Chains A and B, each alone.
Chain A
Amino acid sequence: MSTDVVLRVENLHKSFGPNEVLKGIDLEVRRGERIAILGSSGSGKSTLLRCLNVLEMPTKGRIFLDGAPIGTQKPDGSTRYREAELNALRARVGMVFQQFNLFPHMTALENVMEGPLSVLHRRKAEARAGAQKHLAQVGLADKADAYPSRLSGGQQQRVAIARALAMDPEVLLFDEPTSSLDPELVGEVLSVIRDLSDEGRTMLLVTHELGFAYHFATRILFLHEGCILEDGPPEQVLKTPREERTQRFLERFTAFRI
Chain B
Amino acid sequence: MNLPELQFGEVFANIDLLLKACGLTLALWAIALGAGLSGGLFFGLARIAQNRWIAWPARAFVEVFRNTPVLVQLIWFYYALPVVTGLQLPAFAAAALALSLNACAYCAEIYRGGIQAVPAGQWEAGRALGMGRARLLWRVVLPLAVRRMVPAFTNRAVELAKNTSVASIVTVHELMYTARLFSSQNYLPLETFTVVALIYFVLIYPFTLASYALERRFAASGA
Q: A97-B124, A101-B124, A103-B122 are in contact. Are A150 and B130 (CB under 8 A)?
A: no
**Assembly CA distance A101 to B121 (angstroms):** 6
B66 contacts partner chain A, Cβ-Cβ < 8 Å: no
Q: In the complex the two chains form, is A105's CB within 8 Å of B128's CB?
A: no
B222 contacts partner chain A, Cβ-Cβ < 8 Å: yes
Interface residues of B (CB under 8 A from A): 119, 121-122, 124-133, 135, 139-140, 143-144, 147, 221-223
Q: In the complex the two chains form, is B143's CB within 8 Å of A105's CB?
A: yes
A55 contacts partner chain B, Cβ-Cβ < 8 Å: yes
Q: Which of A6-14, A88-96, A205-213 contacts B (4 or more CB under 8 A)?
A: A88-96
**Assembly CA distance A119 to B134 (angstroms):** 12
**Assembly CA distance A91 to B126 (angstroms):** 10
Closest to B147 in A: A105
Decide if the interface of chain B is mainly helix, strand, loop or mixed: helix
Closest to B130 in A: A91
Number of interface residues of A (CB under 8 A): 32
Q: In the complex the two chains form, is B129's CB within 8 Å of A167's CB?
A: yes
Q: Which residues in A have their C-beta under 8 angstroms from that of B221?
A: 105, 147
**Assembly CA distance A86 to B130 (angstroms):** 7
Decide if the interface of chain A is mainly helix, strand, loop or mixed: helix
Interchain residue pairs with CB less than 8 A apart (18): A55-B127, A55-B128, A87-B132, A94-B128, A94-B129, A97-B125, A99-B121, A101-B124, A103-B126, A104-B144, A105-B144, A105-B147, A115-B130, A119-B130, A147-B221, A149-B222, A160-B125, A167-B130
Q: In the complex the two chains form, is B128's CB within 8 Å of A104's CB?
A: no
Q: Which residues in A have their C-beta under 8 angstroms from that of B223?
A: 104-105, 147, 149
**Assembly CA distance A94 to B124 (angstroms):** 12
Q: In the complex the two chains form, is A148's CB within 8 Å of B124's CB?
A: no
Closest to A93 in B: B128
Q: Which residues in B have their C-beta under 8 angstroms from that of A147?
A: 221-223
**Assembly CA distance A114 to B129 (angstroms):** 9
Question: What mask results when residues 77 to 111 of chain A are scored 1 for a CB within 8 Å of chain B, else 0?
Answer: 00000011011111110110101011111000000
Q: In the complex the two chains form, is A163's CB within 8 Å of B124's CB?
A: no
Q: A114-B139, A148-B222, A149-B222 are in contact. Are A102 and B128 (CB under 8 A)?
A: no
A157 contacts partner chain B, Cβ-Cβ < 8 Å: no
Closest to B135 in A: A118
Q: In the complex the two chains form, is B122's CB within 8 Å of A101's CB?
A: yes
Q: In the complex the two chains form, is A95's CB within 8 Å of B128's CB?
A: yes
Q: Which residues in B have their C-beta under 8 angstroms from that of A83?
A: 132-133
**Assembly CA distance A137 to B135 (angstroms):** 28
Q: Report, nearest first, the 5 A-B pairs whose CB atoms are least far apart.
A: A147-B222, A91-B130, A101-B125, A105-B223, A101-B121
